[in-house]
Amino acid sequence: MMMIMLFMMSMIPFMFVISTWVLIQYCYLFLYMIMLVKSFNLFFTSISYFLGIDMFSYNLLMLSMMISSFMIISMSNSSSSMFYSFVNLSLIIFLMIIFSSLNFLYMYISFEFVLIPLVILVLGWGYQPERLTAGLYLFFYTVLVSLPLLILIMNIYINVGSMFFDTMKFNSNFVLIHYIMVFVFMVKLPMFLVHFWLPKAHVQAPVSGSMILAGLMLKIGGYGLIRVMFMYEVMFKNYSFIWYSLSLVGSIIIGLMCLIQGDIKCLIAYSSVSHMGMVILGLMTMSYWGLMGSYLLMLGHGFCSSGLFYMSNLFYLRSGSRSFYINKGLMVYMPSCSMIWFIYCSFNMSCPPSINFLSEVMILSSMINYWSCSIIFFIGISFICACFSYYLYSYSQHGLYHNLYSFTSMNSIEFLCLFMHMLPLLVYSLVMMSMF
């Protein structure tokens, strides 16, 4: 892992020398190929300098490489600067340290530092003046919940004497410790009631910022919950019903809020909150199927949501608006994108045989085992999810467009990025179906 980190750090000077995005893209693809041949098993491998990979971190590292590559493609047609490439690279470095760290303190430091390039991305390349408010929301939500965790980490180190995941056991049943440990990751997911920063950050961020927010930043919360859950099983067993109940009700409420949105990006952002509520439900059951279902849902959502944000930006570049009232009749305006938009909306509603469908089946079985009445809420969540995905497709593709001119020009780079978002979803689905 240190070899990969040193390679990425050696790319920093070239970000201010290389003037073309193609060479930067080649560097990311080379790193992806290195990660592809790495072996992993259920325990940590490729250990070097407090860094290593296991089954949970491996796919998230691969996701990081792919989403970073998609970010470079998404900004290839715009006037992106060299400083933008540097911000993108620093963001990916911090994310890779989070996903490959064996030490909780390393993970926490990178968890905080990832906020800096993200805020720069939102403030520097955002669209509207409201991006200042979005940056403040993002900053204060993260700082407010992270400072208590720093104090708790110091307390754990004094009592335990180690910050490594395999030796860090803190036998306590105090609800405040569980609250501080879990709440910081719930804000990053985000959980219902602490999700207000996400729609603002998504709507005001550039397309690359929205892609990395949906594809990777939300996965930090789920990954942190998985790591902490393995260390403090007793506390999760006693208090998981609190987070379970909030997410159960919150996913339905957020799904209903999606149906009243007038902004395409805002609807996709709220749908991410609803899907992350499903991730929390699966994790809080503390069963193997719930854990694997939540993990697969995070991977599927990373590609699907990132592709939806990229395609919504394509609509925005051509129509000049993200409103449903302007973006109507796109089946006539951009017929080459209609089928791809339908596939992404189908994956977003967990239509079989997508990986989202398989993961939700696994989460449903774990929820019924945890509380049998959960199936009533799950049916409501799935139905509302199908409703707003159908709403997203029909209201944008059908109807009468305000201009009779048919504009179908889509260049090959945009089709490549859309297809590369879709390919991992199909591959993951086929692999999972073969395992079942």
Per-residue pLDDT reduced to its tens digit, 211-240: 988 888 899 999 999 999 888 888 888 899
**What is the pLDDT, as a whole number, of residue 405?**
57
Query: Greater confidence, 47 or 261?
Result: 261
**What is the pLDDT, as a whole number, of residue 308?**
94
Rounded average pLDDT over 63-90: 81
**What is the pLDDT, as a whole number, of residue 376?**
93
Please state the length of the chain.
Answer: 436
Least confident of 269-278, 298-307, 395-404: 395-404
Q: What whole-number percentage of the chain has pLDDT above 70?
A: 94
Interatomic CA distance for residues 200 and 211, integer angstroms: 14
**What is the pLDDT, as a whole number, of residue 36?**
82
pLDDT digits (tens, 9 = 90+) for 146-173: 889 999 998 888 888 888 888 887 777 7
Residue 174 has pLDDT above 90, yes or no: no
pLDDT digits (tens, 9 = 90+) for 12-46: 887 777 666 778 888 888 888 888 887 666 666 77
Rounded average pLDDT over 126-139: 84
**What is the pLDDT, as a whole number, of residue 19?**
60
Token duo for residue 400? 């009468």
Please choose, from the candidates 52, 55, 61, the residue with its C-alpha nearest in 3D space to the C-alpha of residue 32.
61
Interatomic CA distance for residues 94 and 119, integer angstroms: 14
Residue 185 has pLDDT above 90, yes or no: yes
- Of the pLDDT bands very low, low, confident and very high (cuts 50, 70, 90), residue 254 is very high
- Of the pLDDT bands very low, low, confident and very high (cuts 50, 70, 90), residue 341 is very high
Query: Greater confidence, 130 or 101?
Result: 101
Per-chain mean pLDDT for the chain: 87
Please choose, from the candidates 402, 248, 428, 401, the residue with its C-alpha nearest in 3D space to the C-alpha of residue 338.
401
**What is the pLDDT, as a whole number, of residue 275?**
93
- Of the pLDDT bands very low, low, confident and very high (cuts 50, 70, 90), residue 77 is low
**What is the pLDDT, as a whole number, of residue 234?**
85
Interatomic CA distance for residues 358 and 360, integer angstroms: 6
7 to 16, 28, 83, 130, 372: CA distances (angstroms): 16, 10, 19, 37, 50
- Of the pLDDT bands very low, low, confident and very high (cuts 50, 70, 90), residue 292 is very high
Q: Where are the domains of the chain?
A: 2-435
pLDDT digits (tens, 9 = 90+) for 367-399: 999 999 999 999 999 999 999 999 999 999 888
Give yes or no for a contact between 175 and 104, defined as CB atoms under 8 angstroms apart: no
Give yes or no for a contact between 330 and 397, defined as CB atoms under 8 angstroms apart: yes
Token duo for residue 128? 């509207």
**What is the pLDDT, as a whole number, of residue 377?**
94
Rounded average pLDDT over 67-91: 80
Rounded average pLDDT over 300-316: 92
Distance of CA 391 to the CA centre of its chain: 22
**What is the pLDDT, as a whole number, of residue 432?**
77
- Of the pLDDT bands very low, low, confident and very high (cuts 50, 70, 90), residue 436 is low
Give yes or no for a contact between 67 and 306, defined as CB atoms under 8 angstroms apart: yes
- Of the pLDDT bands very low, low, confident and very high (cuts 50, 70, 90), residue 434 is confident
**What is the pLDDT, as a whole number, of residue 256?**
94
Interatomic CA distance for residues 90 and 16, integer angstroms: 13
Least confident of 2-11, 185-194, 336-345: 2-11
Query: Greater confidence, 414 or 407?
Result: 414
